[in-house]
Structure 1
């Protein structure tokens, strides 16, 4: 399961990561976010060593959500070499998520 990351850890774990990073901005009260949890977990397991996965709770880390202009949840941000490469809002199925990740990391 993806580990939570806060603003103090974000730079080191996400922006300075040697591998691409998927960040899930979510809320505990968001039903689509809850539906995404197992999907993101499966992707994390399947891409272990090639992709790091973290979660940001927008209720506790509002600064991070604001700094990345997260308007709705779930919002997925894909980072590579410290830069945001792509973003996607809303729940998706695993095949679409994997395709989106692979397409944006080419």
Structure 2
């Protein structure tokens, strides 16, 4: 399961990561967020050597949500070398998310 991070370790875990990073902005009360969680866990397990996956709770880290223009949850941001390479909103299946990741990491 993806580790929860916050503004205190976001720079170290995401912005300075040598690997691409998928960040899931979520809320505990969001049903689609809960449905997406195991999908992201599977992706994290299968790509552990090539992709990091973290979660940011928008209720506790509104500052990060605002900085990355999160208007609703779940919201995914794909970071490469500290910059947002791609973003998407809403829950999706594993195949769709993997295709989106692969397309944006070409």
What is the TM-score with the length of structure 1 in the denominator? Answer: 0.99
Residue 8 of structure 1 and its aligned partner are, at CA, apart by: 1.1
Aligned residues: 106
Equivalence for 1:7: 7
Equivalence for 1:79: 79
Q: Which runs of 5+ in 2 are unaligned?
A: none
Q: CA–CA distance in 2 between the matches of 1:53 and 1:18?
A: 13
Instruction: Spell out the pairing of 1:52-67 with structure 2 (5 A cutoff).
Output: 52-67=52-67
Residue 49 of structure 1 and its aligned partner are, at CA, apart by: 1.0
Q: Which runs of 5+ in 1 are unaligned?
A: none
Q: CA–CA distance in 2 between the matches of 1:93 and 1:42?
A: 11
Residue 76 of structure 1 and its aligned partner are, at CA, apart by: 0.3
Residue 105 of structure 1 and its aligned partner are, at CA, apart by: 0.5
The structure 1 segments of at least 4 consecutive aligned residues displaced by more than 3 Å after TM superposition are none
What is the TM-score with the length of structure 2 in the denominator? Answer: 0.99
Secondary structure, counterpart of 1:7 in structure 2: coil
Equivalence for 1:43: 43
